[in-house]
A and B are shown apart, each in its own frame.
Chain A
């Protein structure tokens, strides 16, 4: 029983981690708190839904489309909108992100209505057992493995490529990066695109596992926040640690106290982590 809860928590935590990776990247590099993050996840989920509903495309194939589409969208939003106010105070970008969130959510509501939808794949209910105690839904394991693959891809891009070096240089010192020839505006746009692309991937996986609707974004933004804070900014490992921590505590918490206490538990942990270790579990001393 305990083992089953732990497994459920870890599998859920993987998805939380993927949701938060993009937010953490955008926040860490550009100091933007992307309130619209959950809305981008929603768009990723709906990309998969429509490709499935109209073309019958398998979600694991449409994953590529939702990442590409969301990357392009994110690139455009940063390049032609956020870059124009990026040097104003952090409030300003935050409120701008809030405006973008309202816009996306309501555009989705107007065009797709508030109906709750689900991607009904044939293999949705398949599962396998480990020993006699633990039942594992196959699809969640596949989703979890994908999370790991995407995280490694992110890690590779940031640490081993020229693009990654430009991104890290820009985040460390904007003026110095510009001096050595980094096209800062473009780097910012690509960074935002990557973060939003990861959100698209999370949305695709979310749409296979849970029902989706245009107003699902707010809750997901909050969850991503919690994960980023628990893990701490500035490391690719942070969101993974944070996601697993949130997934596991939520699984145990709701098992012991009942599901109505889920949010109380996550947010109490959030506040405690902030007070005790303001830079996250992995972060250095304050």
Chain B
């Protein structure tokens, strides 16, 4: 057992080392692509806390992304604050919003929770489109980062990497604390969890707030990187869907599942768009359909069980077909 743990730590450390050193040998385009992967890895991992571990499929997590971005934009542009302050404020602001909205919405279950969160995100988008302080549909500018071009690419890459490590580390700590067990108990059977004395409302709300916190941080970095923010892209339903697809594709309810999902989905869609100029999204849809039919438990299930090939696929189909 100890030996296995050491083995995992070594592999993990090695991968981390490669990721940390990777920008030094890459061109700007590749660094930017890596930054995008890291951003989606943060968001998919954050979604995993509420959707994967707690079993509450949020369909509105992009609202935290947008709120984080807009808090950063407003604090930096209108109040002239430093990015470090805006970054933290974005995280805590999104977490606070998660608590406020979570108290009523987390009482709902299953699909109803999913649609309610979707409604919250869409309502928020419409609100931001109409508010004065967010400058509505014309969008809001942020101050540019005062670094060389190369320096900017490094800065955003390492900000995203740092935030991702923070996300995974805190998720790991939560999972091994009492809270983590409470969340999984809620996912498996909420009534039973309640009856053995778990404060389900508190646990769910903390999970939602954590999810919001990290997504808000990602939104903050994204806003600063873009130096311009519009309600449409900032609150896009597609972003939420992407988080969920990545988490499910990689394996939800597993610490590294969303990370693997984000990495592989981004690589697949980038490769496809290189080869098929017009129809790449069509092929992407096909990949999603095939992946769901053949590996509904996610890539991480294949990796950890070391099962590949036709028999594994057929086994999955036999298990889930009617």
Contact = CB atoms under 8 A, between A and B. Distances in A.
A274 B106 CA distance: 11
B245 A98 contact: yes
B108 A278 contact: yes
Nearest to A33: B111
Interface string A50-94: 000000000000000000000000000000010111111011101
Interface string B267-287: 000000000001101101111
A84 B317 contact: yes
A110 to B, nearest CB: 5
B70 to A, nearest CB: 16
A262 B114 CA distance: 21
Given A86-B322, A106-B285, A188-B322, A264 B115 contact: no
B322 A267 contact: no
Interface string A244-286: 0000000000000000111110011011001100100000000
Contact of A91 (B57, B286, B288, B293): B57
A263 B129 CA distance: 10
Given A85-B296, A103-B286, A92 B320 contact: yes
A241 interface: no
B127 interface: yes
Contacts, number: 139
Interface stretch (B91-99, B118-126, B161-169): B118-126
B181 interface: no
A94 B292 CA distance: 10
Contacts of A101: 285
Interface string A109-126: 110000000000000000
Contacts of A270: 115-116, 119, 123
Query: Is the contact region of chain B dominated by helix, strand, or loop, or is it mixed?
Result: helix
Interface string A196-231: 000000000000000000000010001001100100
- From A87, A103, A109, name the one whose CB has the most chain B CB atoms within 10 angstroms: A103
A267 B108 CA distance: 16
What range describes how many residues of A lie at the interface?
A: 35 or more
Contacts of B115: 225, 229, 270, 274
B110 interface: yes
A261 B126 contact: yes
Contacts of B129: 260
Nearest to A87: B320
B262 interface: no
- Would you call the interface of chain A mostly helix, strand, loop, or mixed? helix
Contacts of A107: 282
A185 interface: yes
B112 A229 contact: yes
A103 B289 contact: yes
26 contacts: A84-B293, A85-B320, A88-B296, A88-B319, A91-B244, A91-B248, A92-B296, A95-B292, A96-B292, A96-B293, A98-B241, A99-B288, A100-B285, A106-B281, A106-B285, A109-B281, A110-B282, A185-B322, A222-B122, A229-B115, A260-B126, A260-B129, A263-B126, A268-B123, A274-B108, A274-B119
3 shortest A-B CB distances, which residue pairs? Answer: A102-B285, A99-B288, A103-B285
Interface of B: 57, 104-105, 107-108, 110-112, 114-116, 118-120, 122-123, 125-127, 129-130, 237, 241, 244-245, 248-249, 252, 278-279, 281-282, 284-289, 292-293, 296, 317, 319-322
